[in-house]
Copies of this chain bind each other. A is one copy, B any other.
Amino acid sequence: MSNQPKQLRLGAFLMSSGHHLASWRYPEARADGGLSFDHFRQIAQTAERGKFDMIFFADGVAVRDRERGTEVLSRTGHLVHFEPLTLLSALSVVTEHIGLVATVSTTYNEPFHLARKFASLDYLSGGRAAWNLVTSASTAEARNFNLDKHPDHAPRYERALEFVEVVTKLWDSWEDDAFLRDQESGVYFDRDKLHVPDHKGKHFSVKGPLNVARPIQGYPVLVQAGSSEDGKNLAAQTAEVIFTAQQTLADAQAFYADVKGRLAKYGRYPDQLKIMPGIFPVIGSTEQEAKEKFAAIQALIHPQVGLSLLTGMLGEIDLSKYPLDGPLPEIPHTELHQSRQKLLVELAQKENLTIRQLYEAIAGARGHWQVVGTPEQIADKMEEWFRNGGADGFNVMPPYLPGGLTEFVDHVIPELQRRGLFRTEYEGRTLRENLGLSRPVNQFTQETTSPELVGVSA
């Protein structure tokens, strides 16, 4: 892989008390972290001390596992937490270098609001904003936005694609040097450098211009996580970073080659898209200690909660009527969660897992890659994927917070640095510079730039 970057990219994927389903019950986790700014300030500063490229927040516009019934819900953590854009705006003040990635859905939002808020975050942070584009995928979310059921997969992606087009047009409303602010002459901006988007499409009609100047990064970095066919095509057209769930190097290599191979069709180069699988690291000073730690957390999962997680990922199927220690029944194909559903069914078949074993297998990382071992063993695995075309970097999912991230920064990062795989200082001023992504040219000033593209080289 000659055009593979020399340095790993690392994201810190943060949740209230950590990624493990039972993390809030783990004594070293902060159970009430979801609404504590001090908690996130500490975590963000720890990630920055570790020279992470970015901190990343997932999001949904409903209480997680909302549909599972109140009894299950009452045993589940991460139910109430900060909204990511407000939290990251606050964290921009207590950090200097690290990228700030907020997830926002295109399904229940308007492009003007979204373009504006991310541009605002980009200015607050001096060029460190990134948008993780998702299309919402739960009935609970639909019901918070005047609908009875969730929109289907295909129209959601069609809307998402046009959404990105409108957002980038709004970000390009003003050229970088449009604002003169000449107090003497009274000329505030150069009229030739205003471009009114005047977008009229199937889903959106948006005149513009945006009431924020062109973002410091041109566009905030565009992140995606979809692994369905529609998701991969959307990413190939628009994304600069992909977070993905891969269980084995072979799967990771196949995904990597597949997605990178789709870029040329849209006039893009492999380096313009960084592929970062999730990794859920359970760290011990010996392998045995790591395994014991993992077992201790797994033992905290209430069976109702484990089952509920599985039900959600398999697509609203009722598993409670099947024995917990028996095999997974036949799962009907649904429109929702196509890729995650497939992953789980294949995992259960391949390893011949019972329902209980299946939920235990995913309770930590929810379908992401779990690595349990010493810092050296974890660095070995990361290096293996990185050097063999499986990943450009990783999105690190600490099992519990804040401790799980601190351990990674104190023990795994130095090991990666010793191997020359990871930076010891930030290279640039903006997230885009640190990720090695070029700054997009304004689509209204370059005849050669297609309006649909982001991340095009200057």
Contacts and interface: CB of A to CB of B under 8 A. Distances in A.
Contacts of A90: 89-90, 92-93, 124
Contacts of A123: 35, 37, 82
A15 to B, nearest CB: 13
A83 interface: yes
Interface in A19-66: 24-27, 31-32, 35, 37, 60-64, 66
Contacts of A157: none
A80 B110 contact: no
Interface in A110-129: 110, 112-113, 116-117, 119-121, 123-124
A13 to B, nearest CB: 18
A289 to B, nearest CB: 22
Contact of A188 (B35, B77, B113, B179): B77
Interface string A85-98: 11101101110000
A190 B113 CA distance: 36
B206 A82 contact: no
Interface residues of A, number: 75
Consensus secondary structure, chain A interface:
loop
A70 interface: yes
Integer count of this chain's copies in the complex: 2
A174 B87 contact: no
Given A86-B85, A186-B75, A188-B74, A211 B63 contact: yes
Interface stretch (A142-150, A222-230, A236-244, A417-425): A142-150
A74 B191 contact: yes
B31 A63 contact: no
Interface in A201-235: 204-213
Contacts of A211: 60-64, 79-81
A80 B212 CA distance: 4
A144 B206 contact: yes
Contact of A75 (B70, B108, B188): B188
A84 to B, nearest CB: 9
A140 interface: yes
Contacts of A27: 183
Contacts of A430: none
A174 B80 CA distance: 10
A62 B212 CA distance: 10
B191 A83 contact: no
A302 interface: yes
A298 to B, nearest CB: 14
Contact of A79 (B64, B85, B189, B206): B189
A177 interface: no
Given A75-B186, A82-B120, 9 more contacts: A24-B181, A35-B123, A74-B189, A74-B194, A75-B188, A79-B188, A85-B85, A86-B117, A110-B146
Q: Which 10 residue pairs spanning A and B have beta carbons closest together?
A: A89-B89, A143-B207, A83-B120, A31-B181, A86-B89, A93-B93, A86-B120, A112-B144, A80-B213, A146-B205
